[in-house]
A and B are shown apart, each in its own frame.
Chain A
Amino acid sequence: MSIDTAPTVSATALDATSGAATRRDIAHRLLMTLGPIFIALVIAGCILLAVGVDPLAYYGFVLEKGLFSPLGIQQTLTRMAPLLFLAAGLIVAFRAGMWNLGGDGQFLLGAVTAAASAPVFVQIMPAWLALFCSFLIAMVVAMIWSLVPALLRAYQGVNEIITTLMMTFLGTSLANVLVKLAFRDPNTTVPQTRTLPVEDRLPRLFETTITSGLLLGLAAIVIVHLVMTRTAFGLKLRIVGANPRAAVHSGLGVPGLTVAVFAISAGLAGLAGAVDIIGVQGNVRADWNPAYGLAVIPAVFLARMNGFAAIGFVFLLSVLSIGGESAARRLGVPNHFTLVLVSIVLIVLAVAEYFDHRYSQSRRT
């Protein structure tokens, strides 16, 4: 693919610099992240003012409900679990220069298979094994779903943006069909899958309501980050991403690696669906589609495909979405405002990064 993959700056380059420089770098990064977020909040505040809502009250409420209240922060951390898996999958794909925009379809199919299999498995085997098997099935189904775009890209050179977008439309519909026809709970009037009893779901952390899926998600993204930056396999994928022709010339099996990248990326998206169902939701209702993928894609870019930075952005997304949901219920500002806010944050961050880059370049030359 010929699309710009320049931001694939390796995080390992930082390790060579001295401690002071690293600290300055971190401070700079923080400033370049928090500054734009503040500007974005001001711009979004103007929109709030325009529709007649007090922005300070709104932001205060969002922060309190999403970050500072005990229940809110627990919900925020719980929301992070699926987003982290999705981000991990996208990091693999984007670093390898492949545009897996089909995350939502893979997510939903993973979710539906997990929802269908988990209640059955818990009756015939020990709970931990049952959940493990459900995770596995969700992952495999999502992987299979990515096989068509992967093979088309690997062997026919068909652009994966079209194919993954189409597969995501197909996957969303197929997930609905499965919920309505195949896995429907006969005991409910609304079409949904059988509900996994709360005691069989992923355990909660300590005395809180935070799902242990959070730990799985954190582990997934850290492992992905380390594999991509520290292993030969990760290096191969990054070569494919940086220059596929050079990769062919250096003897890499590009088609095989392409299929592997899609499988890993989709598998992680499927796990995201499974962790949301087995950890939090318990069942899938028909027409349920949280469309997490669309918000996570730009966040992963802004994190420069760095796993640790992505954790930060996912946290920010979660705070905004949980806080926004509460605000929608209490302040009468519809949840849609969160979309506006996220969008403005993303754009201002991207613009700030551009000017930062230009500034540092002009200083260097």
Chain B
Amino acid sequence: MTGLFSEVFLSALLFGAVTAAIPLLLAGLGEQISEKAGVLNIGIEGMMLAGAYLGFVGAFYSGSLWLGFLTGAAGGAAVALVMALLCVRIGLNQIVIGIALTLGLEGLTALLHHFQFSRSYPRLPAADATVIPLLSDIPVIGPAFFKHHLIVYLAVALVFGMGYIYRRTQLGLNLQAAGDKPAALDVAGIDVVRTRTIAVLTTGALAGLGGAYLANVGAGLFIPFITNGAGFLGIVLAMLARGRPIWVLFGALLFGVCLSLTTAMQVAGINIPTDIIQMLPFLAVMIMLVLFGRRASLPAALGIPYERGAR
């Protein structure tokens, strides 16, 4: 048992936590934009899967991780385009379409994987880490937080970028208004449908990027259903964060630590079903909700398609 809490183990655990947290972070940030703009994006799991598959395909055939991230984000955005057309433009029920998209992408990516990769299960080489000088020399923390792929730092930077957009820019205010009082935004001369479409497409791109990271860096390969509920976790994170990107980051790290702990316990050969550890983050959040469950501050028009002139 002494080896369990050694420095190396601890930093590997935290390293894994960050790796597990990044897809959740990207999904949560993405979902947050949609929810701000009044679109409940249940299809985010499907967008992540599209991103994971296309991201892997892109990286595998081109040999470039960055191209993989690009195709992944494009794949997520393509699914989001369907969602935007159906739910924002013609106002179909967001939950029906979201779930249908998730089901469809689960099936489609698994199907394509079956015909393409299921005999060989190709893997990508391990991702190059960008080592941050000085900081990475700190014991335990250094190797855990400062030896990741460049995209990890970009994702964390995005948290602050989003915070800036929401608080300081016209776009941020428009998004907020599209979710809280779309009619007011419309009267102000700004196209609600366009604002919401931008939000949903951004969600798709971020979710796709998260999926691509999951497949290309986290796992190094694509397997069917690889996201395993990460998109739904993103929805939970976005709702708990109450519109603040920084809380998405904290939440994602909390879930990341628990996910990483699951793997670590398996490696250490501790004989507890991993299911128990997987329950921990949810338990923590539920207890928090029970204790501090104030009125959730969700946008007023969340889930309601906007129709000009409708009462």
Q: Are B296 and A159 touching (Cβ within 8 A)?
A: yes
Query: What residues of chain B lie closer than 8 Å to A347, measured between beta carbons?
Result: 86, 97, 100-101, 104
Q: Does A301 contact B (CB under 8 A)?
A: yes
**CB of A351 within 8 A of chain B?**
yes
A294 at the binding interface (Cβ < 8 Å)? yes
Tell me, yes or no, whether B220 is within 8 Å of chain A by CB: no
Chain B residues 276-310 with CB under 8 Å of chain A are: 276, 278-279, 282-283, 285-286, 289-290, 293-296, 298, 300-305
Decide yes or no: A350 and B93 within 8 Å by CB, A162-B235, A176-B273, A177-B276 being known contacts: yes
- B240 contact set on A, CB distance < 8 A: 162
Please give the distance in Å from A101's CB to the nearest CB on chain B: 8
Residue in A closest to B237 when the chains form the complex, CB atoms: A162
Tell me the A137-186 residues at the B interface (CB within 8 Å).
Answer: 148, 152, 156-159, 161-163, 165-167, 169-170, 173-174, 176-177, 180-181
Does A187 interact with chain B (Cβ within 8 Å)? no
Question: Which of B69-77, B106-114, B164-172, B203-211 lies at the binding interface?
Answer: B106-114
User: Are A2 and B97 closer than 8 Å at their CB atoms?
Assistant: no
The answer on a CB contact under 8 Å between A2 and B112 is no
A99, A159, A170, A354: the one within 8 Å of B279 (CB) = A170
Q: In whole angstroms, what is the CA distance A181 to B104 when docked?
A: 35
Task: Say yes or no for B232: interface residue by CB 8 A criterion.
Answer: yes
Interchain Cβ contacts within 8 Å, total number:
163
Closest chain A residue, CB of each to CB of B116: A51
Q: Interface size class for chain A?
A: 35 or more
On whether the beta carbons of B285 and A176 are closer than 8 Å, the reply is: no
User: What is the bound-complex CA distance between A341 and B110, given in angstroms?
Assistant: 13
Give residues of chain A (1-59) contacting chain B, Cβ–Cβ below 8 Å.
1-4, 7, 47, 51-52
- CB-CB < 8 A to A121: which residues of B? none
What B residues does A341 contact at CB under 8 A? 107
**Does A344 make an interface contact (CB < 8 A)?**
yes
Stretch with Cβ within 8 A of B (4 or more), from A63-71, A124-132, A248-256, A330-338? A330-338
Once the chains are docked, how many angstroms separate the CA of A47 from the CA of B276? 40
When chains A and B are docked, how far (Å) is the Cα of A20 from the Cα of B304? 36
| Cβ A298 vs Cβ B96 within 8 A | yes
Question: Which of B91, B104, B275, B296 is A344 in contact with, Cβ under 8 Å?
Answer: B104
A–B complex contacts, Cβ < 8 Å, 18 sampled = A47-B108, A51-B111, A148-B286, A158-B296, A159-B296, A161-B235, A162-B240, A165-B236, A170-B282, A181-B273, A297-B95, A301-B93, A302-B96, A337-B111, A340-B104, A343-B103, A346-B100, A351-B92
